[in-house]
């Protein structure tokens, strides 16, 4: 919605500890001083009357929306000649809308983008501005060079990396305590939880996984079992039989009342799981989610009208096999549209949000643990940011051994409802196809997307 302001590639990662912040992809302990690249009069000569209008688009939960609107207000106070209109919403349907805007030349001036959008929508470096052209107002020295390289197309910097992220397990401890069940740590305890929850109330489930969640969980299972990346050098690294085994395991979780069926989730009529009444009221007691999303899921159950004050905790990585599974990725970037009439001022806004003290303090960890060394330094010094997000990020970076391949999040695969992941896991859950057919369809879809 639009509102006025009235209201993968390998990344070198530093070792992390459970409650510490680390700049993504870098091993620096001292951040270079963040230059205030955007001098107060930098935007004054950008238009005939000195007035500049920008649109900034992003998706997220309520806490991200609130923090970003506050940061925008601070930016406009600093630069009275620049007006920024926010455009934001939930993730559901967001990529489809924004892709049409990008490809149609109608994109917002500043965009929060997923990492894979660079490959999917940059049109080989032409649809987003080259941010290296605005390094006089955007301090690129704050970001690890390895992370910046992953944000390039045709040698042009399409976005600034915001954070590095991965998925891990979160649990509603209040519900597990009510059921009288231990939080799962391995396959046996996961299956035991399904049995206990079903006996307690058939509307209760220990874990909820949508179609895209199931795809990521499938890869986690396979990596735990076989210690191979999902894709390397543009090729799936698993056999049809291995993938079928993973599909069988997901079917087993449904049969054992560990996860609800896709039909059950669709019947909940919620745009996203954090807005699902069954999550909010504790009937779904577990998720497998990005570390950067922790705060919105926690807020949903803590502020539940029917059951306020539930306890949200980070779990252990569930031991599904003899190896460690899971991947990390650049969670998102901030980009400037190539059609923006004011790319310099747009770059100034990005610098304010990611590198300048005021923007850093307001945004904190709403988009995850920052890649900007200046942001990490300030958050550490002032003890700012969501402690849960910090702990989750440190935990996933210390555990997950694989990097996300660049095609994993391609719209042909993850779009809802027509992407391959949604079709395959929806049909498997409905019983329209068996696990062998699901594995074959998934492989065919991924290979087609990769051009194999």
Can you give the pLDDT at residue 331?
86
Question: Tokens in use for 300?
Answer: 């949903």
Q: Please give the backbone phi and psi of residue 185, each rounded to the nearest 5 degrees, phi first.
A: -130, -10
- Give the tens place of pLDDT for each residue, 256-283: 999 999 999 999 999 899 999 999 999 9
Residue 2 has pLDDT above 50, yes or no: no
Confidence check: pLDDT of 38 > 70? no
- Contact between residue 234 and residue 241 where contact means Cβ atoms under 8 Å apart: no
Cβ 363 vs Cβ 75: under 8 Å:
no
Segment 355-406, tens digit of pLDDT: 999 999 999 999 999 999 999 999 999 999 988 999 999 999 899 999 888 8
State the chain's mean pLDDT as an integer: 90
Q: Which residue has the higher pLDDT, 386 or 108?
A: 108
**What is the distance between the alpha carbons of residues 258 and 253, in angstroms, rounded to a whole number?**
5
Q: Tell me the torsion sign for CA atoms 369, 373, 379, 380.
A: positive
What confidence category does residue 19 fall into, taking pLDDT thresholds of 50, 70 and 90?
very low
The CA-based diameter of the chain, rounded to the nearest angstrom, is 70
């Amino acid at each position: 919605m639009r509102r006025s302001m009235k209201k993968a590639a390998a990344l070198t990662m530093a070792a992390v500890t459970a409650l510490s912040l680390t700049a993504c992809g870098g091993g620096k302990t001292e951040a270079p001083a963040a230059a205030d690249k955007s001098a107060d009069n930098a935007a004054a000569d950008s238009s005939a009357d000195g007035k500049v209008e920008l649109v900034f688009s992003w998706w997220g939960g309520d806490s991200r929306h609130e923090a970003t609107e506050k940061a925008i207000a601070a930016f406009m106070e600093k630069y009275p000649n620049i007006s920024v209109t926010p455009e934001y919403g939930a993730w559901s349907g967001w990529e489809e809308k924004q892709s049409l805007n990008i490809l149609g030349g109608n994109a917002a001036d500043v965009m929060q983008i997923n990492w894979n959008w660079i490959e999917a929508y940059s049109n080989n470096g032409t649809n987003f501005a080259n941010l290296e052209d605005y390094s006089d107002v955007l301090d690129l020295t704050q970001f690890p060079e390895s992370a910046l390289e992953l944000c390039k197309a045709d040698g042009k910097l399409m976005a600034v990396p915001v954070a590095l992220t991965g998925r891990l397990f979160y649990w509603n401890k209040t519900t597990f305590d009510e059921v009288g069940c231990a939080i799962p740590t391995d396959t046996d305890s996961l299956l035991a939880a399904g049995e206990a929850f079903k006996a307690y109330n058939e509307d209760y489930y220990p874990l909820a996984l949508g179609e895209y969640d199931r795809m990521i969980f499938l890869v986690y299972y396979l990596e735990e079992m076989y210690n191979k990346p999902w894709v390397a050098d543009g090729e799936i690294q698993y056999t049809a039989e291995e993938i079928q085994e993973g599909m069988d395991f997901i079917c087993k979780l449904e049969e054992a009342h560990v996860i609800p069926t896709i039909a059950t989730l669709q019947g909940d009529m919620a745009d996203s799981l954090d807005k699902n009444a069954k999550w909010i009221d504790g009937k779904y007691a577990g998720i497998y989610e990005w570390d950067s999303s922790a705060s919105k899921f926690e807020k949903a159950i803590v502020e539940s009208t029917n059951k306020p004050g539930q306890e949200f905790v980070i779990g252990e990585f569930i031991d599904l096999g003899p190896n460690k599974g899971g991947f990390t990725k650049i969670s998102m970037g901030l980009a400037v549209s190539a059609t923006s009439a004011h790319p310099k001022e747009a770059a100034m806004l990005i610098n304010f949000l990611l590198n300048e003290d005021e923007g850093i303090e307001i945004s904190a960890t709403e988009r995850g643990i920052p890649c900007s060394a200046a942001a990490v330094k300030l958050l550490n010094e002032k003890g700012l940011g969501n402690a849960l997000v910090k702990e989750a990020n440190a935990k996933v970076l210390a555990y997950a051994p694989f990097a996300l391949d660049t095609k994993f999040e391609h719209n042909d695969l993850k779009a809802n409802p027509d992407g391959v992941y949604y079709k395959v896991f929806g049909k498997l859950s409905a019983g329209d196809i068996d696990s062998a057919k699901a594995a074959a369809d998934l492989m065919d879809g991924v290979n087609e997307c990769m051009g194999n």
